[in-house]
Amino acid sequence: MPETLSGPGCFALVPCAGIGTRSGAALPKQYVQIAGKAMVAHTLEALACVPRLVETLVVLAPQDVWFEAAVPGFRGLRCRIARCGGATRAETVTNGLAVLAAHGARPDDWVLVHDAARCLVRPQWVDRLIDACLSDPVGGLLALPLADTLKQERAGRVAATLERDGKWAAQTPQMFRLGLLRGALARAGAAVTDEAGAVEALGQAPLLVPGELENFKLTHPADFELAQRLLRTPS
């Protein structure tokens, strides 16, 4: 980390320790080839184009043997990997935050946690989040207002129609100060599914920053096919 940094800096943290069982792939989904590159390579290339990110930390599973071959260009002063991923996303992020702190990140520095599986992210969307959150007392996340009618399911049938007004689908990056996020995750435990949820459990209200439909998380086989088409279509 540059020693000349004065105000709070921005760090990216990419949890990359999952196995993605729902994807149907023969290897962890972040390493599946999409448009000629591993999924995570697309993700990291986009983050590398955000000048305000001091460093990007990728948190791998201890037994990971794929990353270096999948992202051979991930080197330099703004790049770091740590093989300390946990059994859950929360554990992986918690361990990654400890690595950032051990290498000089301060409690008031910002950490942008981004899913490796959101490989269509664009630098301008990350900049939008940074612009919105830098002066915010809590931090926030990219998210989309829900457009579809929501149905509650029971035994494969509709049990109820849910009110969609005021509901948003959470995306990433999610941007919070390192100290706040470490405390929130320690209190929330391993079951929390995103960083904003841990911060909410402290009684805080993260900022909702409008995201983009294309910033979806690749989970099922059809998602990979759609991402392939989008990445091969000139923007």
For the chain, domain boundaries: 10-231
What tens digit of pLDDT does each residue of 21-56 get?
555 567 899 999 999 999 999 999 999 999 999 999
Q: Which CATH class is domain 10-231?
A: alpha beta
Task: Catalogue the E-assigned strands of the chain.
Answer: 10-16, 33-34, 37-38, 53-60, 79-82, 110-113, 139-145, 150-154, 157-162, 168-177, 207-210
pLDDT value at residue 7: 82
pLDDT value at residue 164: 86
> What stretches in the chain show pLDDT beneath 70?
1-6, 20-25, 235
What tens digit of pLDDT does each residue of 153-170 get?
999 999 999 988 899 999
pLDDT value at residue 75: 84
pLDDT value at residue 114: 98
pLDDT value at residue 1: 46
| Residue 222 CB burial class (10 angstroms; 0-12, 13-18, ≥19) | exposed
> Taking the CB of residue 39, how many other CB atoms lie within 10 A of it?
29
pLDDT value at residue 42: 96
The half-sphere exposure of 78 on its side-chain side, counting CA atoms within 13 A, is 16
pLDDT value at residue 20: 55
For CA atoms 119, 125, 57, 202, the dihedral sign is negative
pLDDT value at residue 22: 53
Which amino acid would we find at residue 35?
A: A
What tens digit of pLDDT does each residue of 5-25 get?
568 999 999 999 987 555 556
Closest CA to 184 of 86, 93, 87, 56: 93
First and final CA of the chain: distance in angstroms? 33
